[in-house]
């Protein structure tokens, strides 16, 4: 698996510089269009009324919460197995973004649940497993930063990310395995989506917008990390150069 040809930081910086404006503009356009369709064009649900509009933020956030963790775990595996130089940076850059999506999912889910179930929170299998996902994100971030040596922290965090991957199928199939209050899948199902096209299209646009939004922030965070690392190397080399020059100046005097 020839991944190292993509691991060159200079090549990544050139590629990300070209992609970043397109990702950012695409995210802004899609989220703007999706919100307009969701708030003003999509009809209210015959049972949920206007509260159904929470779905257009809650569902994309929920999908992104799991997707980002899967990508973080994949990057962690690549870092452990193939020593990909950018994999640890990608995983660490993705973790706070995934935590943000998960928190947004939990908050909007609570708002939706209060309207539909009459309570902000229940220890439902789906809700509980998503809360566990949020704690996995926080645990990863805490573990990576718990060591003085960055390499040890990255390896420990990568192991935790891989162990936590078992929670993703629990989130996905919890409504099928247990009797839960959370509704079953209504988009990706064998019989086809049960959502009307007037709601499905805004939802799909919002999902794509969230994906591009994540890609934009991920590229920005990875670029920032690489720039900071380059600055640290330049500062250390400058300090070493001055330290090496000082003894020669002392001898000369």
Q: Within 13 Å and on the Cβ side, how many CA atoms surround 244? A: 6
Kindly give the parts of the chain with pLDDT less than 50.
1, 190
Please name the residues in contact with 28: beta carbons below 8 A apart, sequence gap of 6 or more.
none
**101-150 per-position pLDDT tens digit:** 999 999 999 998 888 888 888 888 999 999 999 999 999 999 999 988 88
What does the domain layout of the chain look like in residue ranges? 21-42+51-180+195-247
**Residue-wise pLDDT tens digits, 184-206:** 666 655 455 667 788 899 999 99
**Which pLDDT value is given to residue 244?**
74
- Return d(Cα 48, Cα 28) in angstroms, integer: 28
The architecture in CATH of the region 21-42+51-180+195-247 reads: Up-down Bundle (1.20)
- For residue 1, the model assigns a pLDDT of 45
3-state secondary structure of 195: coil
79/68 Cα distance (integer angstroms):
16
In angstroms, rounded to a whole number, what is the distance separating the alpha carbons of residues 87 and 75?
5
The pTM for the full model equals: 0.89
| Packed helices 197-252 and 9-36: angle between N→C axes, nearest 10 degrees | 150
């Amino acid at each position: 698996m020839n991944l190292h040809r993509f691991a060159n930081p200079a090549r990544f910086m050139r590629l990300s510089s070209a992609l970043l404006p397109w990702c950012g503009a695409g995210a802004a356009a899609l989220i703007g269009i999706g919100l307009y369709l969701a708030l003003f064009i999509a009809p209210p649900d015959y049972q949920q009324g206007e509260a159904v509009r929470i779905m257009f933020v809650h569902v994309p956030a929920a999908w992104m919460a799991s997707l980002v963790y899967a990508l973080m775990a994949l990057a962690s595996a690549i870092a452990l197995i193939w020593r990909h130089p950018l994999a640890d940076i990608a995983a660490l850059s993705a973790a706070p973004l995934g935590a943000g999506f998960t928190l947004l999912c939990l908050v909007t889910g609570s708002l939706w649940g209060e309207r539909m179930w009459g309570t902000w929170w229940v220890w439902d299998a789906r809700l509980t497993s998503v809360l566990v996902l949020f704690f996995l994100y926080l645990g990863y971030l805490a573990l990576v930063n718990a060591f003085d040596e960055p390499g040890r922290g990255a390896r420990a965090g990568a192991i935790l990310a891989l162990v936590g991957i078992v929670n993703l199928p629990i989130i996905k199939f919890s409504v099928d395995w247990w009797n839960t209050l959370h509704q079953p899948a209504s988009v990706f199902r064998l019989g086809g989506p049960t959502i009307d096209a007037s709601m499905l299209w805004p939802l799909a646009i919002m999902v794509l917008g969230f994906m591009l939004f994540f890609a934009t922030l991920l590229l920005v965070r990875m670029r920032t990390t690489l720039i900071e690392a380059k600055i640290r190397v330049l500062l250390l080399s400058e300090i070493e150069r001055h330290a090496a020059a000082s003894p020669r100046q002392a001898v000369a005097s």
